[in-house]
A and B are shown apart, each in its own frame.
Chain A
């Protein structure tokens, strides 16, 4: 069965660029979405259809998807961006989530 894989953790300094990857076989041929989840809260959609940003999501969040890897990029990372991030795609009539990446801003 299809799987998508994320690194368990990523660290970034405030003001720098954070990149979180999501890997899967030919993932670039599928749409990928990204969610931000802070402790005790529901997930929030931050990127959909690889590159689109919902209204209300800051411009510092962007996405790309090519080959076997989708990437969520946070430019000028702020302390408020510290959270768990999940990628999500669709394959064989199934919604698939990555295992999640804990972003630490330090």
Chain B
């Protein structure tokens, strides 16, 4: 059974870098069948996609965050990671890691069929 677990600091200072890791069990980040990604949710608000990665390292990023985001994959540890630089209070959110499947036609992260429990990251001095 697929399980994803986010880990990382719950508090980050403004202008610093937010770093999170997602550890995958019951599945492999090396699989050519899936994408892996990050979605965030500010308190009391809706879902916002941050970005997704394929095992080869190919990435898709939210255009509104692209200049500050890096997603990477570590196949040896069965993990993938998120780095978000120059954070502000607006980056305070619950961050979810998730697995994405491609559609029946095309090759892109079409839908998210497995989610981690989420981790709250607060940006504050």
User: Is B one of A's binding partners?
Assistant: yes
* Contacts between chains A and B (CB distance < 8 A), count: 64
B92 at interface by CB-CB < 8 Å: no
A45 at interface by CB-CB < 8 Å: yes
The size of the chain B interface, using a CB distance under 8 A, is 24
Given the known interface contacts A42-B117, A42-B118, the answer about A31 and B46 at a Cβ–Cβ threshold of 8 Å is: no
> B111, A97: Cβ atoms under 8 Å?
no
Main secondary structure of the interface of A (DSSP, over half): strand
List of B residues within 8 angstroms of A54 by Cβ: 113
- Report the minimal beta-carbon distance from A101 to chain B, rounded to whole angstroms: 10
> B46, A97: Cβ atoms under 8 Å?
yes
Which size class do A's interface residues fall under?
Answer: 20 to 34
> A33, B63: Cβ atoms under 8 Å?
no
B positions within 8 Å CB-CB of A: 37, 39, 46-49, 52, 60, 62-63, 96, 101, 103-104, 108-113, 115-118
